[in-house]
A and B are shown apart, each in its own frame.
Chain A
Amino acid sequence: MIAQPARGTSLRQSPGLAAAADRARTVFRVTLPFICLLVVWQVGVILSGLPEYFFPSPATVAGSTVLLVERGILPSYIADSMARFALGVFLGVALAVPTGVAMTLSRRLSEALMPIVNFFHSIVEMAWIPLFVLWFGYGFKTILLSITYVVFFPVLYNTLLGVRTIPKATINAVLVLGAKPKDVILEVLLPGALPNIATGVRLGAGYAFRALIAAEMIAAQSGLGFMIFEARQNQLTHRTIVGMIVMGILWLAIERLYLRPLERVTIERWGMLRRAE
């Protein structure tokens, strides 16, 4: 009895174990609300006595998930959706950043483009889908275009903001060192605007994820949005719920693995948060 160390001491003595315990606690803290939600859902199904096609139970949804994975449907739909999403976000950023930089360099260009940009920003991408379908048909091109469209605006606005927050003296300092316009863009404007661009990408990606599902519901023959929408017509309601859950998990993963680190690296390493000191 006496030789046995106290619980706290043993944890402190092995930091690896303490870290593992910490991690386990974090996982528990995050999953607990979801477990509660599952319980409420199951109880709701039992108490309501509604038919499965109307209000499927967690067990049915789990079974449906297994079946969709086994048949390879879910993996291939996820791959399709993510490919559209990634390419769309990439294209949106690739178009918006150069446009933003060009607009900050030329007052005339900015004055000419700004009203047009603001006009189109107010038109939701869903309104374009009938036209996109007419021009590009159902499928990849139409969905890609919708995503690129929604990513473009927040990235453009944040690029403009980012370049404008760069102090004039910083640009002057590079000019007196003999910088050409190309050098000013690469050495000052882009890195200086990067924290804002990262914020724009994060916002844009969030909009794009919604736009993806919406566009796939209307204009696709594959993908998560297609699955969610099409399942209802065949009374496979549990598939709709599988699609919704996968969407939520995918977004959490994208946020944690790509978007948050992107912002953290640019902002924290350069001390941008302290720039206002």
Chain B
Amino acid sequence: MPTTTATATKIAVRDLVHRYYDVQSHATTLAIQGLDLNVQDGEFLSVLGPSGCGKSTLLYIIAGLIKPTSGQILVDGQVVSKPGPDRGMVFQEYALLPWKDVRENVGLGLKLRGLNQTQRTPIVDRFIEMVGLRGFEEKYPHELSGGMKQRAAVARTLASDPKVMLMDEPFAAVDAQTRITMQEELVRIWQETRKTILFVTHSVEEAAFLADRVAVLKARPSRVKEIVTITTPRTNRRQADKDPEFGAVQARLFDLVRAEVKESGDSATGSRH
């Protein structure tokens, strides 16, 4: 019998293995080996790792877009193997439909579920408001900045009311200033909606600012190397120097990632000296 204090596991990744065949090099690569991970209900969990470590692959497998070689993904205790609206995903490249305006893009998931225009409008308007895109409902993606496109993509994901939100380096392509704003807005939206978020990034600062817990992945073949819990309130996280405890957590994350970058032999990717 589960106790009332225990939080429910929203996503469970069980002994995941992923091997793929590369057409160009004619070689089989073992990308993920024996990866286990539990994401709690309502939690904000960041997945951090050196580039090429398979963190995006993990997200695509959870989304059902890539079939793993072996292992299981459970959402609310149910095994999932195909994409479904219970797992929403936000892509680095926004992936909005260029021929639909903001309102149609945001309402797409609802339309696919069979809701008509009148049923969709209040939901769509609510999430457009939430991401701060009011007044841009009739704009097409090419008329929006990168940050605004990603806001629309977040609204599109939220409008479908998924159980979990999978985010694949969503702010990697926007400028530094916008990125900071987007991170803060995401925290606000997460607090408002209480969605479970799995957020993949290669930025230590980003992971440390956003997450309740940070799962650091090992270099290829990847699995979880260590999970770091962050208890510092998010309001204190922007100035690591003023909060020694948070500063220490961030330094620890840097160390873990740096060790993995060295491990992968990829000296070109940002190892700090």
Contacts and interface: CB of A to CB of B under 8 A. Distances in A.
A271 B98 contact: yes
B156 interface: yes
Nearest to A271: B142
B99 A178 contact: no
A272 interface: yes
Contacts of A176: 63-65, 83-85, 87-89, 166
B65 A270 contact: no
Given A169-B93, A169-B95, A192-B99, A174 B141 contact: no
Interface in B30-45: none
Interface residues of B, number: 30
B89 A172 contact: yes
A180 B109 CA distance: 11
B91 interface: yes
B259 interface: no
A178 B160 contact: yes
B97 A178 contact: no
B113 interface: yes
A272 B65 contact: no
Contacts of A194: 99
A275 B97 contact: no
Interface stretch (A77-85, A183-191, A213-221): A183-191
A277 B94 CA distance: 14
A129 B63 CA distance: 54
A170 B143 CA distance: 18
Given A172-B89, A183-B112, A270-B142, A178 B84 contact: yes
B210 to A, nearest CB: 21
Interface in B135-192: 140-143, 153, 156, 160, 166
B65 A187 contact: no
B108 interface: yes
A187 B98 contact: no
B140 A270 contact: yes
A192 B108 CA distance: 15
Contacts of B143: 271
B203 to A, nearest CB: 20
The residue among A167, A180, A194 with the most chain B CB atoms within 10 A of its own CB is A167
A263 to B, nearest CB: 14
Contacts of A178: 83-85, 109, 112-113, 160
A187 B104 CA distance: 11
A193 to B, nearest CB: 11
Contacts of A271: 98, 140-143
B141 A170 contact: no
Nearest to A170: B95
B193 to A, nearest CB: 17
A177 B99 contact: no
The residue among B63, B108, B140 with the most chain A CB atoms within 10 A of its own CB is B108
Nearest to A175: B83
A195 B14 CA distance: 44
Contacts of B91: 169, 172-173
A23 to B, nearest CB: 31
A173 B142 contact: no
A174 B64 CA distance: 13
7 contacts: A178-B113, A179-B112, A187-B108, A270-B142, A271-B98, A271-B143, A274-B142
Interface of B: 60, 63-65, 83-85, 87-89, 91, 93-99, 108-109, 112-113, 140-143, 153, 156, 160, 166
In the complex, the 3 A-B pairs of residues with the closest C-beta atoms, listed nearest first? A271-B142, A173-B95, A178-B85
